[in-house]
A and B are shown apart, each in its own frame.
Chain A
């Protein structure tokens, strides 16, 4: 930290049709009236748009995927840290979270803070553990079970009626109306995200989501519910609106209290026609639509940075309901020189 200026490194700059949360997280931090931050973008791919968006990162570095090995990954983080003196890293992608949580002690020893859930919190809300999670915290969840191999697909009909949802352990969810479709989705998802693939009971209703932030002591620092108004063919929100749904907020606060959740989270729920709420997923990080919460009055990225840096944070009590977001695509013109520099030197 130079004076009061923080150096914050952020991943998830892939602002594509399946956007990562990095760019909206940076927007929230940049709009803070209390923080002055130098933003370091950490990117896995050469064409992550946030690398080239001048208002996003002051400097961007390419980093290896955690799957390349922890040592290689940490070597690169050490290298970036030696040059940038990072105060805080905010990882924003599901597939990297486990690695960052595991490395948080090492990072802390280097002077780099994180604000993440514990391994226990991270593991117990995994899609494959959802039934036990629902029972433990008294939350309705759809029935589900993990598919470890294609032969398990035959057992689906003993447990559920079709349709069912077929989900990857990190991303991707497809509905399937028969076993043939499950086979197709199983192959696609397992090739991309590995095993297990999760089969989940289909609950009819409206999907509603909450973005929230827990302080690790059971307190909810921020929570904003949203309903997707326009969904892409990848199931991502292209438009959404904040709701005044007090029951969703009650469920969120209770969950954060009981789990003593630390960090950002996205709670995905289905509200049925008779007003029941089923939790279908907890994403253990800030979602890509977090800027809606900023626009509605709760700057969650700013609050997360302050919590991580040990600054006092007052819980948000209100937000503006009926606030909307609409995503758009935009052609950013770049020079070959920029692409060449990031591809070859790994920094821009």
Chain B
């Protein structure tokens, strides 16, 4: 699970896909998740990090995270497995 390499994320939460010219905006939590995905962290590592930092149960976080990744795939921002 990895973010496409050509995605630019600025410190204000502006997300730019340089392949398509599409741009998006995200909040600070979304930025954190995108950075973890860019670093190719596994689901378990991301869950451990986020539940340690924020007041959220692992199952609840994983549900939100799944939704987030589905949205990223919908916007074609994730590397698809070969």
Contact = CB atoms under 8 A, between A and B. Distances in A.
B45 interface: no
Interface in B1-51: 6, 8, 16, 18-21
A129 interface: no
B20 A243 contact: yes
Contacts, number: 21
Interface residues of A, number: 12
A86 to B, nearest CB: 39
A322 B17 CA distance: 9
A107 B18 CA distance: 43
B7 to A, nearest CB: 11
A293 to B, nearest CB: 15
B18 A321 contact: yes
Contacts of A206: 20
Nearest to B16: A322
Contacts of A173: none
Nearest to A244: B18
Contacts of A240: 21
Interface in A304-328: 321-322
Contacts of B18: 243-244, 321-322
* B16, B19, B20: most-surrounded residue (chain A CB, <10 A): B19
Contacts of B8: 322
Interface in A189-229: 206, 226-227, 229
Name the residue among B8, B16, B18, B21 with the largest chain A CB count within 10 angstroms.
B21
A283 B35 CA distance: 41
A259 B19 CA distance: 26
Interface in A221-246: 226-227, 229, 240-241, 243-245
Contacts of A244: 6, 18-19
B22 to A, nearest CB: 8
A229 B22 CA distance: 9
B52 to A, nearest CB: 35
Interface of A: 206, 226-227, 229, 240-241, 243-245, 271, 321-322
Interface of B: 6, 8, 16, 18-21
Given A206-B20, A243-B19, A244-B6, 5 more contacts: A229-B21, A240-B21, A243-B21, A322-B8, A322-B16
